[in-house]
Chain A
């Protein structure tokens, strides 16, 4: 769960296989369109969260511009879907990811000079510029509806499955997103134990030492930006094509706080954290849908409590309990040797 792919035991593989199988069969059994829409939207948010978790939790770069990158993926792919109808929608979605990766690359360069809070301020400023420019875009006069649709939202686009009925449409999007999630989880798990992953994590925990050992931090950081930007762009493009709309409020402070809460509750920097966090928060949101003020109150309180009392999120909690049980089973009174699990800290 925590280690790379190579460290997975046969039991773990069995568990993962079982989980994937259940997830894949699920929409054949369950068809309630209201909840299926919520679930598919949650899947898309999960893709965004996986991408954000990669840069924020694993690379330790305090990037608060991810929602703008996500939105740019949506706008980029939407432009292609709308104006170049001969291009297959799937390609348009990938191109949205490519556009986001490119912009992430450009965003990465100035952050190389910055540390800590200044990184978050720069990326946050970037997100604000994107959001307000998108909002004001119809005033720019590129075309009648502009590039983004401004506050009215993006015009309707063809989408991946224009001819499907509702049930098939939801099911098809469910599977597409599930495929992206599984692929990106494995990619992230593999990246963690790759050369790049080690470089990123050691850069996060001990930047000076890592640089002194001759690891090229800049290249690693830029690579992290590009990879996570691509995935965020794909998520944005999927959102637009699934929901047939995208407004500037999608990158406002409220979605940002919800996404941060998902990441922190699940456990920053872990592979399974975003999945658990997104599931829990979506469940809370759905439960409290009739009490609008309460959702964010509960989430804000949860965020505060988790950050202060459960620094590793739920994944950290599980693995700590798990470790304590195995220690207890093996009757050792010594704590396990070595590093106390670097991923349980928010950042070193």
Chain B
């Protein structure tokens, strides 16, 4: 019984934060048809902003989150302008999907190592957003920090959904994902939309980074693990499918919680990647994806 509660509670918390980090990758893949390998370093950048704002300057938690959003939004926009935009009009000579896999990866290497130089290799403690915890049943406690993290992640994912469904620019993002030429002839300025989309996706990861920093630490490699998990989630959900991503995030969260409770933390990634291997063997385009569909 205790185990079941622990698995469900932790699965819910992990799932929410993975969803937040991975949904940005899905948004980018859905619109630009590229896999953004710099998403992990945006988490890392977010956790450093959290450390800087909360630990160094003692600002309000909400301000820290907004600050992380803004900083990583700018960083993501810049990443697009540097690593994707120059290649977009050269679709005939290069395979955009694969080349941007490398260029966004290169940006991730750059950001990680700039952080290493600037902040040093040592972990920095990021204060939690809210202190205290609650005991669900005997032996299973959840911190308020984790609950806030899950809550804000869900709110942000919901807001993204509303943004895409209701607003002018949200509709434009989906339109570009579904039919680029038609979107352009509606007057959508694609060259501005792409960097903004990547900025938005990065900002979500950045906010996630503030929370993950409070859960673990801020360090130059703090983005590696979230990137690996986000990759698992987006493949499982079918690249480009938003609802698929959210289901997959909670599934991955539950699997992680289950393996941690039953077998210990060391086996989580092995098991998850083995699951991905198995899924790709049976369903070459992920659980929900198909080669032509899965466009936001």
Residues in A lying within 8 Å of B, measured CB to CB = 62, 110, 113-118, 120-122, 124-126, 128-129, 132-133, 135-136, 139, 253, 257, 260-261, 264, 292-297, 299-301, 303-304, 307-308, 311, 345-348
Sample (18) of A-B pairs whose CB atoms are under 8 Å apart: A117-B98, A117-B239, A118-B280, A120-B101, A121-B231, A125-B235, A129-B277, A132-B269, A136-B266, A294-B113, A297-B110, A300-B108, A300-B110, A304-B103, A304-B110, A307-B99, A307-B103, A307-B106
A110 touching B280 in the complex, CB below 8 Å, given contacts A118-B285, A311-B93: yes
Whether the Cβ atoms of B94 and A300 lie closer than 8 Å is no
**Known interface pairs A116-B98, A117-B98; A303-B109 also in contact (CB < 8 Å):** yes
Q: Tally inter-chain residue pairs, CB-CB below 8 A.
A: 123
CA A294 – CA B280 in complex, angstroms? 37
B87 at the interface (CB under 8 A from A): yes
Digitize B89-119: 1 where CB-to-A-CB distance is under 8 Å, 0 elsewhere.
Answer: 0000111011101110111111011101100
Contact with B277, one of A62, A126, A297, A303 (Cβ below 8 angstroms): A126
Known: A308-B83, A308-B87. 7 other contacts (CB 8 A): A129-B273, A132-B269, A253-B224, A257-B105, A261-B106, A304-B110, A347-B95
- Do A308 and B239 contact each other (CB < 8 Å), given the known contacts A125-B273, A125-B276, A346-B95? no
Tell me whether A303 and B285 are in contact in the complex, defined as CB-CB below 8 angstroms, given that A117-B239, A308-B87 are known contacts: no
For chain B, which range describes its interface: under 10, 10 to 19, 20 to 34, or 35 or more residues? Answer: 35 or more
A300 B107 Cβ-Cβ under 8 A: yes
What are the 7 A-B residue pairs with the smallest beta carbon separation, nearest first? A300-B109, A293-B117, A300-B110, A303-B106, A132-B270, A297-B113, A304-B106
In the complex the two chains form, is A348's CB within 8 Å of B95's CB? Answer: yes
Q: What A residues does B86 contact at CB under 8 A?
A: 308
Interface check B169, CB cutoff 8 A: no
Residues in B neighbouring A261, C-beta threshold 8 A: 106
> Assuming A117-B97, A136-B266, is B117 touching A125 (CB within 8 A)?
no
Complex Cα distance A122/B273, Å? 9
Could you tell me the distance between the alpha carbons of A121 and B284 in the complex, rounded to whole angstroms?
11
Bound CA span A110–B270, Å: 19
Tell me the bound Cα distance from A114 to B276 in angstroms.
14
**Which chain A residue has the least Cβ–Cβ distance from B224?**
A253
Chain B residue at minimum C-beta to C-beta distance from A256? B105
Closest beta carbon of chain B to A345's beta carbon, Å: 5
Q: Flag whether B82 is at the interface (Cβ < 8 A).
A: yes
Within 8 Å of chain A (Cβ to Cβ): is B155?
A: no
B224, B273, B285: most-surrounded residue (chain A CB, <10 A)? B273
Pair B224/A303 contact, Cβ less than 8 Å: no
